[in-house]
Amino acid sequence: MAVRGAEPGVIWARPERAGRGPKPAFTRADIAAEAVRIADAEGLDAVSMRHVAAGLGCGTMSLYNYVPRKEDLYELMVDAVSAEHELWEPTGDWRADMMRVAGQTRELMRRHPWLPRLMSPVYGFSPHALRYLEHCLACLDPMDASYGTKFELIAMLNGVVTTYVRNEIDSAERVRNLPWSEEREQAVRLAYLGGQVASGVYPRLAEAFTQDAGPIDMEAVFRRVLERVLGGFASS
Amino acid sequence: MAVRGAEPGVIWARPERAGRGPKPAFTRADIAAEAVRIADAEGLDAVSMRHVAAGLGCGTMSLYNYVPRKEDLYELMVDAVSAEHELWEPTGDWRADMMRVAGQTRELMRRHPWLPRLMSPVYGFSPHALRYLEHCLACLDPMDASYGTKFELIAMLNGVVTTYVRNEIDSAERVRNLPWSEEREQAVRLAYLGGQVASGVYPRLAEAFTQDAGPIDMEAVFRRVLERVLGGFASS
DNA sequence: AGCGCACTACGTACGGTGTACGTAACTAAT
DNA sequence: ATTAGTTACGTACACCGTACGTAGTGCGCT
């Protein structure tokens, strides 16, 4: 009888293929690809064990031979798309390089809108994540700082990008999924907000809302915020 | 017959009490408090409509009179604990004040470890969130910047704190929940990581791991990172 | 005063989820 | 050839969110 999930931790630690029984019908890559396909097409919530198994053309429980828990399936997915990170020869300008890294991460998340929800530093040690980390460190070679500081910078940058893109995506998705129209939703929200602000309890918010009427250039905000973060690290 | 969820958006827009029928048995605050109690005691996953209803001593479906969708229950929870934010008279030193805000947010999230998972800027307009925002703006009065920049700063700070605390909590929770021992888990992870790093494909990672042997002072890291972010905004 | 209606309350039911467990087929090592 | 470890997968369980129907309640209007 199989060990059935008694093994600890990291899925990457166990060999993909055990020597003994009949040869597996799928690779981890197959499974990850199918899960990613589903998530891209129908959203993360559509990624269920049954659904993925059906997509692969096998029984639901067969999946558990490859993936001990659903969490591990998520980990496979994150690793799979992390492979899309394009790596390049560092230019020597670490700030520019890190900006480029951030931009790529952002593009990655836009291609796979479910990524931010799964991004957690706990998943930080998959093979492709290691490649990515090494690449970041290479870009940071010219930076005069300890590895500790560099890790802080990388974690920070990832965190900021994740948070930022998550906002973008979540609001967009929420608007798309709601049954009533976007205008109706926005009208209700604005009416409520206006009412609250008009109460006089929030004078600064009130002032800000009369002031900031124009639409905001998200692209510019993104770049500016990142520049600031990098600036914070450069000065030290 | 009741309207049954055909109303759009924000739960805060609809009045807590309608004039017509029998008076509701609970307030939103009651419901939020119960949900928070459960989440604190048994984790966010234990917060189900059935569970909350049982805790309140009413039928499951009765909850839907107060809370159109589960997402709104989450929104109530976030607002409820946001009330714990202590507000003070700004000191005039906006960097110090914002550091204090961040520290409080962190404490809040440690008291309610499920908070980071629910924190999303989409929930940014609950009554207590507005209070919090106004307070931040008050702290930022001495800062020479547009409201746009100030909002960017606040969002950024929240994002960083959330990301940071989420790491702390998620890793802790993961370790606590796993059936095998922490040492075994860490041993497996380290063995795997060591093997990967020893392959020679990640020279910088290898160097970093031989170097950074000591335990890291999370408190110091937290403060340092925040200082950097604030520094990035101060210089502009 | 009394009618009607908007509201509360709540049981039932449906379609979904993750996954524990039992069983049968298969193959590599002994 | 035997056997032990693996793969495959169907069944079953305990949960989830919530659509819907129905009964009771009391405010607002006529």
pLDDT digits (tens, 9 = 90+) for A173-220: 776 766 666 676 677 777 778 777 777 889 999 888 887 666 777 888
Q: Structural domains in chain A? A: 11-82 (1.10.10.60), 94-234 (1.10.357.10)
Quick one: closest CA in B to A180, which residue?
B8
pLDDT digits (tens, 9 = 90+) for A5-41: 556 678 888 777 777 777 788 999 999 999 999 999 9
Residues of B in contact with A211 (CB under 8 A): 146-147
Distance CA(A188)–CA(A182), nearest Å, equals 10
Predicted confidence at residue A15, as pLDDT, reads: 76
Residues of B in contact with A171 (CB under 8 A): 121-122
- B23 in contact with nucleic chain D (CB within 7 A): yes
Å between B38 CA and nearest CA of chain A: 23
Distance B50 CA to D14 C1' (A): 13
Predicted confidence at residue B44, as pLDDT, reads: 95
Please compute, for residue B205, the number of CA atoms within 13 A of its CA located in the half-sphere on the CB side: 21
Q: Which residue is nearest to nucleotide D19 (CA to C1')?
A: B4
Predicted confidence at residue A178, as pLDDT, reads: 63
Residues B228, A216: C-beta atoms closer than 8 Å:
no
A159-163, A168-172, B173-177, range with greatest mean pLDDT: A159-163
B164 touches chain A (CB under 8 A): yes
Nucleotides of chain D in contact with protein CB (under 7 A) are: 4-11, 15-22, 24-28
- A60 in contact with nucleic chain C (CB within 7 A): yes
Distance CA(B206)–CA(B52), nearest Å, equals 49
Predicted confidence at residue B192, as pLDDT, reads: 78
Residue with the two structure tokens 């807590």: B16
- Angle, CA of A147, A140 and B200, to the nearest 5°: 70
| Cα of A199 vs its chain's centroid, Å | 39
Q: A39-45, long-range: CB within 8 Å, 24+ apart, which pairs?
A: A39/A77, A39/A112, A39/A114, A40/A111, A40/A112, A40/A114, A43/A114, A43/A173, A44/A114, A44/A117, A44/A118
Residues A205, B235: C-beta atoms closer than 8 Å:
no
| Residues sharing a CB contact under 8 Å with residue B78, sequence separation 6 or more, in sequence order | B115, B118, B119, B123, B126, B129
**Candidates A3, A71, A147, partner chain B, best to mutate (most B CBs within 10 A):** A147
Predicted confidence at residue B77, as pLDDT, reads: 96
Residues of B in contact with A133 (CB under 8 A): 202, 205
Which residue, among A185, A194, A192, has the nearest Cα to B15 in the 3D structure? A192
Quick one: closest CA in B to A218, which residue?
B152
Instruction: Give the mean model confidence (pLDDT) for residues B89-115.
Output: 96
Beta carbons of A109 and A61 less than 8 angstroms apart: no
Quick one: closest CA in B to A212, which residue?
B148
Distance CA(B159)–CA(A126), nearest Å, equals 24
DSSP 8-state symbol, A17: S
Predicted confidence at residue A42, as pLDDT, reads: 94
| pLDDT for residue A236 is more than 60 | no
Predicted confidence at residue A50, as pLDDT, reads: 96
Distance B43 CA to D26 C1' (A): 39
Radius of gyration of chain A (CA): 22
A108 touches chain B (CB under 8 A): no
Residue with the two structure tokens 């030193």: B93
Helix (H, G, I), strand (E, B), or coil: what is residue A127? Answer: helix
Name the phi and psi angles at A231, rounded to 5: -60, -40
- A178 in contact with nucleic chain D (CB within 7 A): no
Nucleotide nearest to A4 (CA to C1'): C20
Q: Which has the higher per-residue pLDDT, A42 or B152?
A: A42
B159 touches chain A (CB under 8 A): yes
Predicted confidence at residue A171, as pLDDT, reads: 76
pLDDT digits (tens, 9 = 90+) for A108-152: 999 999 999 998 766 678 899 999 999 999 999 999 999 988 988
In 10 A of CB A210, how many CB atoms?
10
Distance CA(A30)–CA(A25), nearest Å, equals 10
Cα dist. B175→A9, A170, B100 in Å? Answer: 10, 29, 30
Instruction: Give the mean model confidence (pLDDT) for residues B178-202.
Output: 75
Å between A57 CA and nearest CA of chain B: 31
- B49 in contact with nucleic chain C (CB within 7 A): no
Distance CA(B152)–CA(B223), nearest Å, equals 19
| Residues sharing a CB contact under 8 Å with residue B141, sequence separation 6 or more, in sequence order | A204, B90, B94
B228 touches chain A (CB under 8 A): yes
- A15 in contact with nucleic chain C (CB within 7 A): no
Nucleotides of chain C in contact with protein CB (under 7 A) are: 5-12, 16-29
In 10 A of CB A211, how many CB atoms?
11
- Least CB-CB distance to B134: which of A127, A166, A202? A202
- B61 in contact with nucleic chain D (CB within 7 A): yes
